[in-house]
Structure 1
Amino acid sequence: MSRYKFILSGGGTGGHIYPAIAIANELKVRYPDAEFLFVGAKDRMEMEKVPQAGYEIKGLWISGIQRKLTLKNLMFPLKLIRSMMEAGRIIRDFKPDLVIGTGGYASGPLLKVAASKGIKCVIQEQNSFPGITNKLLAPKVEKVFVAYDNLERFFPKEKILKTGNPVRQDLLGVVDKKAEGLALFELTPGKKTLLVIGGSLGARRINQLIESRIGFFKENNIQLIWQCGRFYYEEYKKYAGADVKVLAFLNEMDKAYGAADIIISRAGASSVSELCIVGKPVVFIPSPNVAEDHQTKNASAVTDKDGAVLIRETDLEEQFEKQFKDLIDSDDRMKELGANIGKLALPNATRHIVDEIEKLIKE
């Protein structure tokens, strides 16, 4: 058996990093002797998260273009040239059989250089509205793995394969973890449980909403698992009590999902993919502070199939209490939403992607 070499590049956010790690893990199971190298952007979170997952990573001096005129933008051409040169050195030294990009700043120069040297490349796009890096790379790669329909307007149709987004395998079967989850968080069985997730760093507007509605949840006999994020924990930990569990992180996400009857979440691509697999009623509050408003587009792809409730940040004051109460007061509606979002799940995404990668390396 050949000893294959793979470079994976993606980062900036967990949504780019964790799919790359999931793909590497599956490749490692199939090819235990394979060599792996990750390439990220210096000073971004991948430089910490990838080594924690057991892989080597090299950092490029690259960042995105800011929306307003800044010194960083003036530095961009220099950073790009330096990154292309460094990417060339990395590829020359490592000699990969295939390069996998999952989006983010570093994957642009790396895959561009790799493709120009005739090395096979693939990209995995998590969102319903692709990032600029993947849009620019698509003509140069062999395959584009996507999680949503109707992406032909961004990518060459013949290269698109709908696989879904790689997610943690421990999320399969969370319905069987309700008792375990309630026990872990010391919550009351038989009482409706709301799980609030705003990402590992937290979401200011969601935290403000929950803080202002503590009384509302109490009146409606709802207990909370509130992951407020590490940036906000000191500010909100004072609300912790028997019915309100305030956490900076959720280390056992499967049990948190298991305990939940209803979930409030941002609509990042990885979160949406996970929530489809979890199959419980969700209220999406998309972040408006992302490129091309892609979180709203991600959430809309679910609500268009009647699989969730979507409330924009600007509508929270006016709509939240009514929409939330209408939902929790109707067990039938909650079951319907849970069933509909579950139909959108693609739980075998990682295996599907690696099946296709195997075909390419064996050609």
Structure 2
Amino acid sequence: MTHANATLTPAGRLRLAKLVVEQGWTYARAAERFSVAITTVRRWATRYRLSGKSGMVDRSSRPHRHPNRLPQRTERRIVGLRVTRRWGPARIAYHLGLNPSTVHQVLRRYGCPRLKWTDPATGTRIKTSSRDKNRYEHAAPGDLVHVDIKKLGRIPDGGGWHALGRGTAQDNRVHARRSRAARAGASPSRGYVYLHHAVDDHSRLAYSEILADERKETAAAFWKRARRFFTAHGITVKAVLTDNGSCYRSRLWAKTLGRRVKHRRTRPYRPQTNGKVERFNRTLLEEWAYATTYTSEADRAAAYPGWLHHYNHHRGHTSLKGKSPIDRVPNLPGQNS
């Protein structure tokens, strides 16, 4: 990049124009002096006569008229379809009989972010540019809490197939036992545990319990304990985001939340909307559920509180720039020990 006093920057153009206009130099002499074309000298001299010193700066190359530009009404239809139906440029173009590249240019001109940069449920922008790796998050703890249930198969006494492998004697015994239970009409929930989660959007602080089922009574009681947990950390919950499970559509759940907590739901078949709790599920599977060999479900459950404490108080998150969730919570001194 040239400095401000280089030849034929605004300062150099001004010197050239003054030699021609004020001192009477010919175009050819000035062109030879500044090593430029005669047409260049003529252009800057003419601008100096018309606009003075202000005419020495670069002008926009944008044309004054756009004879082939789309009518404003069509551009508004493009933006409207993007906002209301979340269509991409190609689909909008086919619907309106336009070229996809034309639609893309209109969306860029109006500042419409890419669909993958927006929240599927609310349309809120969750990414600012291709270089920005930080996902969208709410500004303060408690603005939104993600609630979800993760169904996890129980580990049989003696270990499961993750530890011993498929087709082993232990694996065959487990299958036979489950088959007998199914024929006897035992409840399917007996073969699973249900992890109920509540994850704060801003801090990623998580409250989680291993429970026996996903009924509405269980979910409601869990939320009461989760709310007390967040309150103890100085967090006032303002909104809760859940999927469309039956327990979250019940009147009991709405009554438990109360009028002061807004209930938001994810779009059907779009788990990305509840992305932070889905990421929490992935983390616990990798770092707790299948991180080591457990000989029973009781052994794995006993390790969960310690792992959860580590997650909240000591585990650094890349999305938090290496901080732990408790570092972003207005907690009391010494609470994050």
From the CA coordinates, give the structure whose radius of gyration is larger: 2
Both proteins in one fold, TM over 0.5: no
Which is strand-richer, 1 or 2? 1
| TM-score where L is the length of structure 1 | 0.27
